[in-house]
Structure 1
């Protein structure tokens, strides 16, 4: 008696937003591409489906989303270039029934993601069943042309899979050489050292009240740290926290806060989120960095260098977005006809474009200088540490005022340019970490109220600014930090916090799954990202061959996108990737069924 063939099986490792997004696309495409007798989808993640680890509902209500609720969606629209059908759905603010300009807490986002997951599962065709395994996947094995085995922690038998998709999200990492040396030094001298990790999971209890703590990193991880060590320890704010930059917020300490000495390469926090909407004509993007330019870069026989070949196109695109908005919305601040300016801008090199802007835009504050934006403290020197505190508070206040004033709406046009550029650059694969940091610094900064709180904490003496190019030394039994921003000054502490996420590299991933995959032949880029086929996310081996049965999407791959979520009506590169991968999965499973029936 012949036995019936096993039901087709797909294992998705990672139950966060990316895994949910692929399930939504499977549901959207299944009626066209898959008429099989059934399908088991095994979702492997110790954290709740939908939210995953980062957005889980079980975390502090003090931790906010970093985007307005109206700028967060998990659903496609007609701006997304994809082969599958559009399946619209509510944004976070529509689903929650709240003001779209609200920065919600992450627990509400977790509830939204749980609902999206449940809706996506409910939309799957009859016979497609999702099984959640609240465990870690530790290894994938199996032949290229046969069923795969996905091994789970504390389980003796693997899940059998026709296809495996890794949607792992942000990963913990083993310490690099510097961090291992700092951990060893801290143990030897009885110090506290917290390595790069997800701040919500950090053990902050070792940071004692009143103790000076050195913090390396001034991005979003620092903002979380700041919140948990102040409001999270009973402090409170008085005043208008929701204003722009012109009001005053006062911090009332609980007495349980440490004193945070914060510095970084730039020495300043990420730019505030922009606090107004775009009206009028939008810059026609892409203009100088679109599909044709990316095709040309990919076709170069000798490859491309980001700084030499890509960055000039990025800078030209961002400048175009800036000046298009300036000329169209604020023509009184220009002294040239736009048509004439655009023609000369398009034909000029970087130097010629700078000279053109100087001639056409009288006020230097209305010109775009990306170098100054990137490193605002270059060449700035303060006479004393106290002078640096005042100077940097004024810098934060100026940033807050500007980012909430529509008179500076070219800033918002540059933000749109950054989104457009990111959507193109994702096709180039691993272009190094600098661009991602630059993008986050300009486009993915904290909500305005958080920077108002930062100013208040600085005035209260709870946060102290170190400056740019902060140097950290482990010597004389302590940690010591200094900065050329304040010549001759330094601070010593017995605690050091690395306020940043670890870099997602396959070699140092704490999770054994990626390390084992790499050891089994999966390729990694020079920066340690998992190499995938940009067409559909198939994992590449070291000869560049796509694996027929293994796929990967997310920040651990060289197809990583811009941030966690997509703004509505911005084309959504992540949606395009999810759709392409879902269709590839379904087509493979359909062919498998056809072969079995033949």
Structure 2
């Protein structure tokens, strides 16, 4: 690196790092034209897909989004200062049916192509260098060049700016997980802690043996696939034909049900005009509260109102025969109705209860339900999954898709509030980020074949008498025991327990503050905040390890893309800083 060249180090070359680089390429002609710059990408995995979306993983694993709903390119709906640089969605690039749930290998290839196109679009004086290593430390003075130390390299990379786009993080075990792991070692049991399923060693889970699984989200779906089709089983229509090498999975969770199926039809007609009750003005008011805001008290009612508006706008405009009043009259009363008066308003205007939006029932469908035996629970859960599949693939239930659009709108607004706790993210994932319909049909087939059993809601696990035992609130008094336990969920990305040495060092030194356990950043541009809340002029961070984690690094076209907005703001701030630095040096 020559003395006259500025240096930007991006730690993490997956979708978020690639997205930031794309915004640097888009904004450089305006903010950094003609100035030399070295961009160093630090990631042991290939640029583009990174660890999670790498091409080298099982071809059986799918994305949980339609190929037409995945893009890495901005459009005019993204509220940003930088220029729009359009590009193909996954399905346009791959030339596949837009309603296909593409494999993750194909998504990895798409991400590699996006990265290559981004590098080609950079100005001639901007050079990109990939370092296939782990970054283990960042230090340096606030007003001077930073040093980024890499594993296995004696000399650090010198950086005028550092951006941490680390993605999802591994974590040390919490107290409960540590106790379970210790018990497993002492008694010859198998305990697989929270992890990325594609990276887990599943070989200790033996054929025909029971396995308790805690977690019913997307990590479980991956586990289910790898332990069934991944071991030679196959589907003949709606029937699963075992290979004989599968374990028997018993799955439960806090909710006790899988995430709701992806919706299986396209949108037609008028979209709900969102945001309506939870937009920029409401976020401004929340941020301006002298004593701060409480999510449950101040934010959740606005979210309920917004999602209700989306639901009923669609019902009244697309299915008016299922309502008793005109939309204009209902909308006027809905706008001023409070929690006490809203149920009566909805009941009078919407006769069929199945057309009314009940967020509590959607979120906790087993709440209050009790079964006398696990056999009865199996029948009940299969009926629940079948009903969910039917509804989510029925265009007559299109208000569900309107609620999904409302969820995306809400997510875009929540980014500005910083970390608002785990409740929202779990609720969003359950309603909007569930598995493809075919995966739920496979789940039903596995249940009928005796390879998969349901444990219910409020699942608890104890380690006693040399085994693991699972119980749930749904079947009081019943127990299932096994010599293997899998925690089918991602590790929590907290700074206190992360295995990432770089972040742990920043936290230990007081150079990184936390908000809800996540890395605290300035919501305006992603600058890292120290424990006193002071932003670092030369360190930025973007992604799920921060309190401005927003939505995924890629998103649906024409939905505002909160991550794209964050990437653009960070890229413009970084380029402006580097330009001004060069100007001062030249003066």
CA drift of 1:163 comes to 0.2
CA distance in 2, matches of 1:463, 1:527: 35
Distance 1:525 1:411 in 2: 36
Counterpart in the other structure of 2:224:
226
- SS state at 1:351 partner: coil
The 5-angstrom pairing of residues 288-437 of structure 1 reads 288-437=277-426
Structure 1 segment 147-546 matched on structure 2, within 5 A: 147-239=145-237, 249-546=238-535
Q: Which residue of 2 aligns with 1:107?
A: 105
> Alignment partner for residue 35 of structure 2, among 34, 37, 59?
37
1:103 & 1:524 partners in 2: Cα distance? 39
Following superposition, the deviation at residue 565 of structure 1 comes to 2.0
After alignment, is 544-553 or 343-352 more displaced? 343-352
CA distance in 2, matches of 1:551, 1:465: 44
1:521 CA drift (Å): 2.1
Alignment-derived partner of residue 59 in structure 2 = 61
List gaps (5 residues or longer) in structure 1.
240-248
SS of equivalent to 1:576: helix
Output the CA distance in 2 between the equivalents of 1:340 and 1:513: 57
Aligned counterpart in structure 1 of residue 542 of structure 2, from 545, 553, 556: 553
Q: CA–CA distance in 1 between the matches of 2:117 and 2:496? A: 36
1:142 is aligned, of 140, 143, 147, to 140
Deviations 1:77-120 (A, max 9, x none): 01111100000000000000000000010000000000000000
Aligned to 2:561: 572
Give the TM-score normalised by the residue count of structure 2: 0.99
> Is the 1:36–1:593 Cα contact (8 Å) retained in structure 2?
no
After superposing the two structures, state which structure 1 stretch, 64-73 or 512-521, moved more.
512-521
- Contact 1:522/1:530, CA 8 A, preserved across alignment: no
Distance in 1 between residues matched to 2:438 and 2:523, nearest whole Å: 38
Residue 475 of structure 1 deviates from its aligned partner by 1.1
* 1:329 Cα offset (Å): 0.5
Name the CA distance, whole Å, in 1 between partners of 2:576 and 2:524: 14
The answer (yes or no) to whether the contact 2:49–2:109 under 8 Å persists in 1 is yes
State the distance in 2 between where 1:522 and 1:237 align.
53
Deviations 1:96-145 (A, max 9, x none): 00000000100000000000000000000011100000000000000000
Provide the C-alpha distance between the structure 2 equivalents of 1:232 and 1:31, rounded to a whole number of angstroms. 48
**Match among 12, 21, 24 for residue 22 of structure 2:** 24
In structure 2, distance between residues paired with 1:85 and 1:77: 9
- Offset, 1:526: 4.3
Shift, 1:358, TM fit: 0.8
Question: Residue 245 of structure 1 aligns with which residue?
Answer: none
Q: Which has the higher mean CA deviation after the structures are superposed, 406-415 or 521-530? A: 521-530
- Computed over aligned residues only, the root mean square deviation of the Cα atoms, in angstroms, reads 1.0
**Partner Cα separation in structure 2 for residue 250 and residue 545 of structure 1:** 59
Is the contact made by 1:36 and 1:590 (CA closer than 8 Å) also made in structure 2? no
Partner Cα separation in structure 2 for residue 276 and residue 94 of structure 1: 19
CA contact (8 A) 1:522 1:531 kept: no
Q: Give the Cα–Cα distance (whole angstroms) in 1 for the partners of residues 108 and 353 of structure 2.
A: 44
Shift of 1:6: 3.7
Relative distance call for 1:525 and 1:346 in structure 2 (3 A) is farther
Q: How many residues align?
A: 587
**What is the CA deviation profile of residues 564-584 of structure 1, one whole-angstrom value per residue up to 9, with x for unaligned ones?**
421000011111111110001
In 1, the alpha carbon distance for the partners of 2:473 and 2:489 equals 22
**Deviations, residues 198-230 of structure 1 (Å, cap 9, x unaligned):** 000000000000000000000000000000000
Query: What's the offset of the Cα at 1:456?
Result: 0.2
Please list every run of 5 or more consecutive structure 2 residues that lacks an aligned counterpart in the other structure.
Answer: none
Q: Report the alpha carbon displacement of residue 260 of structure 1 after superposing the two structures with TM.
A: 0.3
Relative distance call for 1:4 and 1:188 in structure 2 (3 A) is closer
Structure 1 residue matching 2:357: 3-state secondary structure: coil
- 1:4 positional shift: 8.0
| TM norm structure 1 | 0.97
Pick aligned residue for 2:83 from 85, 92, 98: 85
Deviation at 1:36, TM superposition (A): 4.5
Q: Distance in 1 between matches of 2:345 and 2:35?
A: 65
Please give the secondary structure, in 2, of the residue aligned with 1:50.
Answer: coil
User: Corresponding residue for 2:120?
Assistant: 122
